[in-house]
């Protein structure tokens, strides 16, 4: 509850963060309830193609005569699912590896950190593209695993350096003297102290995963099936939306949807940052 | 210093070896792997004897398909070390290395130029933001910069394409140079190359300088509050001296570290940018080969992108001791480690966490 009231106090004064948080909330609601409220049919009606915005289709229609807005709403869910799943995997692996190696130290630390370095060095996006094209999956869980293949390494390094500085603190000494288990030490003693950092990184990991997953669909690396923003842009580009003047809404609506969500996440994460990090508030 | 260099070098070679093994694993050992797919495809076509099929596969992946797996692995790694990455399936007349050798300079040029431009602009803007922290100007710039850095580069690329090559036809929509110039060191060619590179570079600079600016601002603000800056002020050093050798140099350190990490990110982003601007760099060929299921070319592109990133990282690592002498000098490093570092000020990688 302290957290919520703190968050509200910060948000009230920071308009950008407030709007960002509200937008993130709207997208979440759209992802959960959107497919129940609107649906994208299979019927195609060429006479309805590339209509300008109207009451029935607030953002116009696409090449097949279907409403762009309803496609965007329906397309929110797959993007959000992959983004959140991938962020969960990234954060879980990153935090577990970082805390364990930072706390235990020794040979295990050296070996695991060398492995982490390797993942940090290999460029993430090309590896993701290669994996996605060889595995070629539509399963969101598999896609999420592919997307987080290198993203955890940066977090693990940062968490490790925090765990190493926590290791010499009094409360850790006290817990050690009480003889708590390793699981308790990592989960109950160390984790709450890196919580804020993890929460912010979780939001940023979502934006990173959305960036990469939309990119995969956009380039046609991931199989084109179903409906999401990346696929919409991909189809729009393939149908020459760049060179026909009446398809601006069709091309730019999914792009706007992505930009608004990404920007909202970044501004919202800034507010979380100042909730958790009182020193920033003073500055 | 020597041991520092050797350690870095060994690590780089190890990573290259691992990436080569990884690409062998993906081509050969994964269920439904590209090599088995090619074999069955050739068989389906008919009219080819068993030996011919094996020869084709051998040409494409430069391994003998009926040899034991470990032997294929040795062949593959040895081939990659000698610079033999097989032939593109879609164009067996040339080699993967030849295609890549033509594409790589374009990518390196665009990535290097846009990295330098965005680094310089970002550092300058970030330093200004830190210097005038509470001004209106700084607040509005912070807003603009966070907004720009949150936009994916491919969307900026599409928007630029739409506005500047379709609606207003100011810039060419593809290629690395015009058809009417002869490659070589002559004026029209250089101008044409620059003209064609403007949009790809602009797309990555617009989306990446914001990350640098925010990072620099955070870093400079934390240095401004440091004790040694106050001590320098108290000693009566000139403002110029303090800004340059106390604040400037120290707040640049995390930025230079970041430079190494962001090289990989820039190469990754170049895949999107080159594809949309049809710029014949390595990322363009990579996506093309993905679309055509040309796995030998795709793996070649992946290997080369990784090797470029590793080499650049190595260069940054070797240059780093010049900026921060503590790195190469173990005694000084130990002293630095004793001081508690401020982990909260950790700079997030430019462009989110997908570095």
- A2: Cβ–Cβ under 8 A, 6 or more apart, which residues? none
The Cα A127–Cα A139 span in angstroms is: 18
Decide if B63 contacts B296 (C-beta within 8 A).
Answer: no
227-286 in chain B: CB under 8 A from chain A: 261, 264-265, 267-269, 271-272, 275, 283, 286
Digit-coded pLDDT (tens) for B235-283: 888 888 888 788 888 888 888 877 877 887 888 888 888 888 888 888 8
Distances (CA, A) of B121 to B91, B145, B152, B195: 42, 11, 19, 21
Chain B residue with CA closest to A196: the answer is B344
Per-residue pLDDT for B96 more than 50?
A: yes
A274 close to B (CB below 8 A): no
Three-state SS for A1-16 is CHHHHHHHHHHHHCHH
Question: B210: closest CA among B287, B85, B118?
Answer: B118
Please state, in angstroms and rounded to a whole number, the distance separating the CA atoms of residues A219 and B159. 16
CB A229 within 8 A of CB B155: no
Structure tokens at B309: 């990133």
DSSP tag of A173: H
d(CA B52, CA A177): 71
CA–CA gap between residue A237 and residue B202 (Å, rounded): 20
Quick one: tokens of B3?
Answer: 């041991």
pLDDT band at A90 (very low <50, low <70, confident <90, very high): very high
pLDDT at B71: 80
Q: Are A11 and A18 in contact (CB under 8 A)?
A: yes
Give the CA angle between residues A245, A248, A252 to the nearest 5°: 155
Q: Are B261 and A120 in contact (CB under 8 A)?
A: yes
* C-alpha torsion A49→A259→A213→B216, nearest 10: 160
- Residue A42 has a pLDDT of 64
Neighboring chain A residues of B271 at a CB cutoff of 8 Å: 125-126, 129, 219
The 10s digit of each residue's pLDDT in A172-181 is 888 888 888 8
Q: What is the ipTM of this complex?
A: 0.81
- Interface contact B79, partner A, CB < 8 A: no
| Residue range A213-230, pLDDT digits in tens | 888 888 888 777 777 888
Residue A191, CA distances (Å) to A99, A160, A205, A255 in order: 8, 11, 18, 37
Tell me the CA distances in angstroms from B131 to A175, B139, B219, one per residue in order: 44, 12, 12
What CA–CA distance (Å, rounded) separates B339 from B250? Answer: 15
d(CA A130, CA A134): 6
The verdict on a CB contact (< 8 Å) between A122 and B290 is no
- pLDDT band of A45, cuts 50, 70, 90: low
Kindly list the residues from chain A whose CB atom is less than 8 angstroms away from the CB atom of residue B272.
215, 218-219
A263 reaches B (C-beta below 8 A)? yes
Average pLDDT, chain A: 81
Please write the tens of the pLDDT for every residue from B139-171: 888 888 888 888 888 888 888 888 887 777 777
CA-based max dimension of chain A = 77
- The answer to whether B178 and B192 have CB atoms below 8 angstroms apart is yes
B179 three-class SS? coil
Residues in chain B with CB shorter than 8 Å from the CB of A134 are 26, 30, 33-34, 295
B159 at the A interface (CB within 8 A)?
yes
């Amino acid at each position: 509850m302290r957290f919520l009231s703190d968050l509200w106090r910060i948000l009230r004064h920071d308009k950008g963060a407030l709007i960002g948080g509200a937008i993130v909330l709207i997208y979440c609601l759209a992802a959960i309830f959107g497919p129940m409220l609107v649906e994208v049919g299979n019927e195609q009606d060429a006479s309805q193609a590339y209509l300008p915005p109207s009451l029935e289709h607030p953002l116009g229609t696409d090449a097949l005569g279907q409403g762009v807005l309803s496609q965007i709403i329906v397309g929110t869910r797959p993007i959000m699912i992959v983004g959140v799943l991938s962020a969960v995997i990234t954060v879980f692996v990153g935090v577990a590896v970082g805390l364990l190696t930072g706390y235990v130290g020794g040979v295990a630390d050296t070996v695991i950190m060398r492995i982490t370095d390797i993942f940090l060095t290999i460029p993430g996006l090309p590896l993701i593209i290669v994996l996605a094209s060889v595995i070629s999956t539509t399963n969101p869980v598999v896609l999420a695993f592919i997307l987080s293949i290198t993203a955890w390494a940066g977090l693990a390094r940062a968490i490790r350096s925090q765990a190493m500085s926590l290791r010499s603190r009094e409360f850790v000494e006290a817990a050690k003297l009480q003889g708590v288990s390793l699981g308790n030490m990592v989960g109950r003693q160390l984790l709450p102290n890196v919580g804020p950092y993890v929460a912010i990184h979780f939001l940023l990991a979502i934006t990173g995963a959305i960036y990469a997953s939309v990119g995969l669909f956009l380039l046609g690396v991931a199989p084109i099936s179903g409906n999401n923003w990346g696929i919409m842009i991909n189809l729009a580009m393939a149908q020459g939306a760049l060179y026909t003047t009446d398809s601006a809404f069709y091309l730019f609506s999914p792009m706007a949807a992505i930009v608004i969500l990404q920007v909202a996440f970044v501004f919202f994460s800034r507010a979380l940052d100042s909730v958790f990090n009182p020193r920033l508030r003073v500055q | 210093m020597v041991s520092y260099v050797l350690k870095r070098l060994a690590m780089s070679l190890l990573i290259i070896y691992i990436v080569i093994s990884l690409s062998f694993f993906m081509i050969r050992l994964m269920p439904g792997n590209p090599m088995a797919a090619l074999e069955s495809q050739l068989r389906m076509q008919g009219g080819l004897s068993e030996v011919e099929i094996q020869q084709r596969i051998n040409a494409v992946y430069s391994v003998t398909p009926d040899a034991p797996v470990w032997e294929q692995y040795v062949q593959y790694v040895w081939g990659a070390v000698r610079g033999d990455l097989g032939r593109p399936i879609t164009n067996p007349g040339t080699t993967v290395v030849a295609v890549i050798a033509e594409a790589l300079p374009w990518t390196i040029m665009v990535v290097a130029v846009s990295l330098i431009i965005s680094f310089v602009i970002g550092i300058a803007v970030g330093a200004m933001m830190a210097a005038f922290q509470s001004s209106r100007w700084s607040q509005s710039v912070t807003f603009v910069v966070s907004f720009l850095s949150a936009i994916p580069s491919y969307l900026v690329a599409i928007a630029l394409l739409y506005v500047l090559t379709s609606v207003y036809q100011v810039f060419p929509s593809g290629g690395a140079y015009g058809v009417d110039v002869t490659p070589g060191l002559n004026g029209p060619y250089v101008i044409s190359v620059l003209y064609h590179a403007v949009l790809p570079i602009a797309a990555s600079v617009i989306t990446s300088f914001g990350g640098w600016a925010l990072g620099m601002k955070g870093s400079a603000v934390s240095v401004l509050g440091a004790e040694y800056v106050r001590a320098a002020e108290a000693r009566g050093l000139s403002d110029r001296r303090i800004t340059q050798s106390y604040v400037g140099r120290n707040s640049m350190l995390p930025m230079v570290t970041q430079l190494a990490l962001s090289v990989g990110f820039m190469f990754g982003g170049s895949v999107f940018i080159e594809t949309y601007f049809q710029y014949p760099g390595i990322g363009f060929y990579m996506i093309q080969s993905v679309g055509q299921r040309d796995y030998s070319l795709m793996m070649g592109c992946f290997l080369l992108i990784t090797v470029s990133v590793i080499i650049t990282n190595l260069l940054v690592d070797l240059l780093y001791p010049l900026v921060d002498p503590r790195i190469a000098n173990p005694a000084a490093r130990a002293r630095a480690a004793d001081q508690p570092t401020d982990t909260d000020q950790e700079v997030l990688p430019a462009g989110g966490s997908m570095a």
